[in-house]
Amino acid sequence: MESSFVKLCKNRYDDGIALAAGVMRCGDIVAFPTDTVFALGCDPFNPDAVRKLYEAKKRPMDKPVPILISDVSSLEKIAVNIPEEALKAARKYWPGALTIVFRKTSLVPDILTSGKDSVAVRIPDHPIAIKLIEDVGGFVAATSANLSGHDSTVEGDEVVNQLNTLVPLIINGEPLGKGTPSTIVDFSKGRMEIVRKGAISLE
């Protein structure tokens, strides 16, 4: 069965996102644009949905999946022992292309973090992504919407080419970062460590 493809326009903007949020709340996965690349997302607190995400992307189970949030205050539900330096970085660069790794709470399922005691989090700077996260309940597990080992997707047609029949719904829209991934910094050990260079430089 082929993926449904929703192109948002002004008079159907909320309807399309509400449809996607409903798909996620029912335990399935959705592809949608962010400020960096297209993302493949699901309910992070539903282990079965997370498993579908791994299977659709053919992502190795030992690679954790980040969580997207819509507000810094949401961190308290999924992260503990948050360093002040991490909060300063979040307040400066969120929403934006900075992913921060924190120690996770027990509410975050192990399947999402590959059994690790940490979780990667960011707030995307894209109106479709933010509205979708809010409609789902404030949290979306999300990784790039491409088959593992393939280039990240920056156009809806590319998502269809790679994931058609594997994803029930694809929301079309333009990512704002044109393919540059987020920078990942790890604060889970109490000090900052650069995990991946990306859109935000070390300087």
DSSP 34-101: -SSSEEEEE-TT-HHHHHHHHHHHT--TTS---EEESSGGGHHHHEES--HHHHHHHHHH-SSSEEEE
The pLDDT of 144-166, averaged and rounded, is 90
Whole-number Cα distances in Å, 26 to 68, 148, 164: 18, 25, 20
> Who wins on pLDDT, 98 or 174?
98
Mean pLDDT of the chain: 89
pLDDT score of 177: 64
Provide the pLDDT for residue 121: 98
Which residue reads 């992913």 in tokens? 99
- What is residue 10's predicted lDDT score, i.e. its pLDDT? 44
- What are the pLDDT digits (tens) for 178-203? 667 889 999 998 788 888 887 777 77
pLDDT at 118 over 60: yes
SS3 at position 120: strand
- What pLDDT score does 200 carry? 78
Counts of helices then strands in the chain (DSSP H, E): 7, 11
Radius of gyration over every alpha carbon of the chain, rounded to an integer in angstroms: 16
Would you state the pLDDT for residue 9?
Answer: 43
Confidence category of residue 16, pLDDT binned at 50, 70, 90: confident
Residue at token pair 């308290």: 76
| pLDDT level of residue 2 (50, 70, 90 thresholds) | low
- pLDDT given at position 134: 96
Q: What pLDDT does residue 197 have?
A: 83
H helix or E strand, kind and range, residue 162: helix 156-163
Instruction: Give yes or no for residue 132 having a pLDDT over 60.
Output: yes
Q: What is the pLDDT of residue 156?
A: 84
Contact call for residues 143 and 40 (beta carbons, < 8 A): yes
Q: Is the pLDDT of residue 6 over 70?
A: no
Residue 1 has pLDDT above 60, yes or no: no
